[in-house]
């Protein structure tokens, strides 16, 4: 027959075991909820330097975070690098501007779907003395302008970073059957803002999106030389990265971001950006859900 002391000991052990089980479950539930909160609490947006350099993202992203509680970590790189990050599962959503490459990205299964978001245009800028006399010879023909630059070996500064801007520039050289090379063709391997600064220092020509140029114009001795060519149209698209790539991809929050940026309210914010400071909008919204 068990003593009272033994009974109390056994009862105590059972109670401790039960309490431990409940505590373990509670801890697991708390850990699960924490992981869930962390996952829904932020996304990685891989995008172009132009959306950051222009100030657009600083202007509109607080609205997204306020409405959803989701923080956005911005990684501003060239479009080529942004697409690579998507392929490697290192981003949740992409905002880029090289439509054919974007469509290929989705066709290959790296992204769910691509949507138009907004557009602006590229311009050729150069020093105010316009040494190649492009304003007179080719004010609205980018292919002809580049041909003149190459023929007379005027300094041209390229991003050389596989960005959307770089891809567009290379397509223009290709249209001329020109392989740009030599001392006159200088590659920075950097973003748009840095490349504009190099062009400014070396008094060279460069291709830039209008938004970044306008946002930096007051600190540059560069002016627009060639514009208005329909080939200079610059479309931006948004893509949700395929969540099957890895478990870290935050598909739900990425989908919320896409719904937000395509919404009428956000499109209005995009269309208004730049008007107060520059007297014109820097991006034209054109989303169609």
Domain boundaries, the chain: 39-120+235-285, 121-232
* CA separation for the pair 191, 161 (Å, rounded): 8
Kindly state the greatest CA–CA separation across the chain.
112
pLDDT at residue number 40 = 56
Res. 32 pLDDT band, cuts 50 70 90: very low
Positive or negative, the CA dihedral 168, 226, 237, 97 is positive
* CA separation for the pair 258, 161 (Å, rounded): 26
pLDDT at residue number 289 = 64
Mean pLDDT, the chain, integer: 89
Share of the chain above pLDDT 90, in %: 82
Of 101, 44, 54, 43, nearest in space to 75 by CA: 44
pLDDT at residue number 41 = 84
**Top-level class of domain 121-232:** alpha beta
Q: Judge residue 32's burial from the number of C-beta atoms within 10 Å of its C-beta, 0-12 exposed, 13-18 middle, 19 or more buried.
A: exposed
Give the helix/strand (H/E) hosting 173.
helix 164-175
Residues 6+ apart with CB under 8 A from 158: 166, 169, 180, 185, 186, 187, 188, 195, 206, 207
pLDDT at residue number 38 = 40
CATH number for the 39-120+235-285 domain, one of 2.60.40.10, 1.20.140.10, 3.40.1110.10, 3.40.190.10? 3.40.190.10
Averaged pLDDT for residues 84-112:
97
Q: What is the dihedral of CA 215, 143, 117, 86, to 10 degrees?
A: -100
Q: Which residue has the tokens 């996952």?
A: 39
Tokens of 41: 């609490």
Averaged pLDDT for residues 244-263:
96
Averaged pLDDT for residues 123-131:
97
* CA separation for the pair 44, 73 (Å, rounded): 5
pTM of structure? 0.79
* Whether residue 37 has pLDDT greater than 80: no
Instruction: Answer yes or no: are the C-beta atoms of 87 and 94 closer than 8 Å.
Output: no
* Whether residue 20 has pLDDT greater than 90: no
The answer to which of 11-15, 92-96, 176-180, 205-209 has the lowest mean pLDDT is: 11-15
* Whether residue 18 has pLDDT greater than 90: no
Pick the more confident residue, 52 or 17. Answer: 52
pLDDT tens column, 65-89: 999 999 999 999 989 999 999 999 9
Q: At what angle do helices 56-68 and 264-272 cross, to 10 degrees?
A: 150
Res. 288 pLDDT band, cuts 50 70 90: confident
Look up residue 146 and give its DSSP letter: H
Q: Judge residue 90's burial from the number of C-beta atoms within 10 Å of its C-beta, 0-12 exposed, 13-18 middle, 19 or more buried.
A: middle
Q: Answer yes or no: same fold for 39-120+235-285 and 121-232.
A: yes
pLDDT tens column, 164-197: 999 999 999 999 999 999 999 999 999 999 999 9
pLDDT at residue number 19 = 52
Q: Which residue has the tokens 């509670």?
A: 26
Instruction: Answer yes or no: are the C-beta atoms of 48 and 97 closer than 8 Å.
Output: yes
């Amino acid at each position: 027959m068990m003593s009272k002391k033994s009974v109390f000991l056994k009862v105590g052990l059972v109670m401790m075991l039960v309490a431990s089980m409940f505590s373990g479950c509670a801890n697991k539930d708390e850990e699960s909820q924490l992981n869930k909160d962390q996952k829904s609490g932020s996304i990685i947006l891989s995008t172009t330097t132009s959306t950051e350099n222009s100030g657009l993202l600083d202007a509109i992203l607080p609205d997204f975070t306020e409405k959803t509680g989701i923080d956005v970590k911005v990684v501003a790189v060239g479009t080529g690098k942004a697409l690579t990050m998507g392929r490697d599962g290192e981003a949740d959503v992409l905002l880029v501007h090289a439509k054919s490459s974007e469509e290929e990205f989705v066709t290959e299964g790296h992204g769910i779907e691509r949507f138009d978001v907004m557009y602006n245009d590229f311009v050729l800028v150069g020093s105010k003395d316009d040494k190649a006399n492009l304003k007179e010879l080719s004010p609205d023909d980018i292919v002809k302008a580049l041909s003149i630059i190459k023929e007379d070996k005027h300094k041209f500064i390229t991003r050389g970073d596989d960005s959307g801007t770089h891809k567009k520039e290379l397509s223009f050289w290709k249209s001329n059957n020109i392989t740009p090379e030599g001392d006159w063709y200088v590659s920075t391997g950097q973003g748009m803002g840095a490349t504009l600064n190099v062009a400014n220092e070396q008094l060279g020509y460069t291709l830039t999106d209008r938004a970044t140029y306008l946002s930096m114009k007051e600190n540059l001795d560069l002016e627009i030389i060639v514009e208005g060519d329909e080939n200079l149209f610059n479309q931006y698209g948004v893509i949700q990265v395929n969540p099957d790539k890895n478990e870290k991809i935050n598909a739900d929050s990425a989908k919320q971001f896409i719904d937000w940026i395509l919404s009428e309210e956000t499109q209005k914010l995009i269309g208004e950006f730049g008007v107060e400071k520059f007297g014109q909008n820097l991006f034209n919204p054109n989303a169609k859900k």
